[in-house]
Amino acid sequence: MAVNLATLRSKVELALTGRVAAPFTYRDRHVVETVSTGIAEIDSLAGGLPRGALTEVFGPACSGRTSLLFSALAARTAHAEACALIDGCDAFDPYSAEAAGVELKQLLWVRCRNIEQTLRATDLLLQGGGFGFIALDLSDMRAEVLRHVPLDAWFRFRRAVEDTPTILFVLEPESNAKTCASLVLRMEAEPTRWSTTLETSSADFFRHPFSWLFDGLGIRAEMIRSRMPRNAPNGFQNHFASVGRSEVFETSAVPGYLTVPRIEPAPK
């Protein structure tokens, strides 16, 4: 009987060669390495970003998705990690990213124009390896298009990143990865802050007497799902009971990039 089991084991290992490393070796799934997002409130809420897993961040436009992306990229590139951004709609602004602290020399920017290009590029980068952080930005794509992404694509991405040091960070207008995501965060904007302090000449002010400057806004993040352990090895605390809990963090306008006029009604 023992001989038969040994023979069967050898056949299974041979059949899985090149696809599954050490199929009969026990792997402790309770130990997950996490890294900081660069935002203390998000780290407190979610326990950081898990390596070897898919993290999904979703919300409507202007909900803080890009702010979280830039913060995470800035944190990873500051540690000299090779990062990649798969830009589904060719909407990435490198100047704003650099102003937010992203080291562009550490970032591979893959510019795509449709969902087919985006999924192929994601497959290639995940299979190639070598990246500590891969962001898949689908936030500007139509929700109808993303709903038709086959579920097996999300499973393929999850399996490709599993047991690797890579963080797969997906941005979407709504949640689509389902149970393939180990961490899911929903983002929404709080009321906007405006500044009436204009650092312009008096002549400019009188040409635009009712202009205000965008100063920032609060962002609310809610944890929808988490499969991370209660105590991550880097010291972040993550409790399953906190699913459904939310945290608010503040964003500030980047001078020269986020200046928005506000028109007030003329006095009666």
pTM greater than the 0.85 cutoff: no
pLDDT of residue 2: 52
**Structural domain boundaries in the chain:** 27-191+218-252
* Residue 107 pLDDT level (bands cut at 50, 70, 90): very high
User: What's residue 197's pLDDT?
Assistant: 55
pLDDT of residue 190: 74
pLDDT digits (tens, 9 = 90+) for 120-161: 999 999 999 999 999 999 999 999 999 999 999 999 999 999
CATH of domain 27-191+218-252: 3.40.50.300
pLDDT digit string (tens) for 73-88? Answer: 999 999 999 999 999 9
Cβ atoms of 32 and 232 within 8 Å: the answer is yes
53-58 and 83-87: which strand pairing? unpaired
Question: Residue 214: pLDDT band by 50, 70, 90 thresholds?
Answer: low
Q: 253, 249, 256: which is closest to 215 by C-alpha?
A: 253
CA angle (139 as vertex; 52, 126 as ends), nearest 5: 30
Q: Is residue 28's pLDDT more than 50?
A: no
Say yes or no to pLDDT of 239 above 50.
no
Average pLDDT over every residue of 156-172: 95
* DSSP code for 174: S
- Average pLDDT over the chain reads 80
Q: Does position 19 have pLDDT exceeding 50, yes or no?
A: yes
Span 179-204, pLDDT tens digits: 899 999 999 887 766 666 555 544 45
**Cβ contacts of 21 within 8 Å, gap of 6 or more:** 163
Burial of 4 (0-12, 13-18, 19+ CB in 10 A): exposed
Mean pLDDT of 95-108: 94
CA dist., res. 217 & res. 69, Å (int): 16
Which residues, at least 6 apart from 242, have a Cβ–Cβ distance to it below 8 Å?
A: 45, 223, 226
Q: What share of the chain is helix, strand, coil (3-state, %, to 5)?
A: 30, 25, 45
pLDDT band at 7 (very low <50, low <70, confident <90, very high): confident
Q: Beta strand 183-195 with 167-172: parallel, antiparallel or unpaired?
A: unpaired
pLDDT at position 263 is 38
- pLDDT of the residue at 20: 58
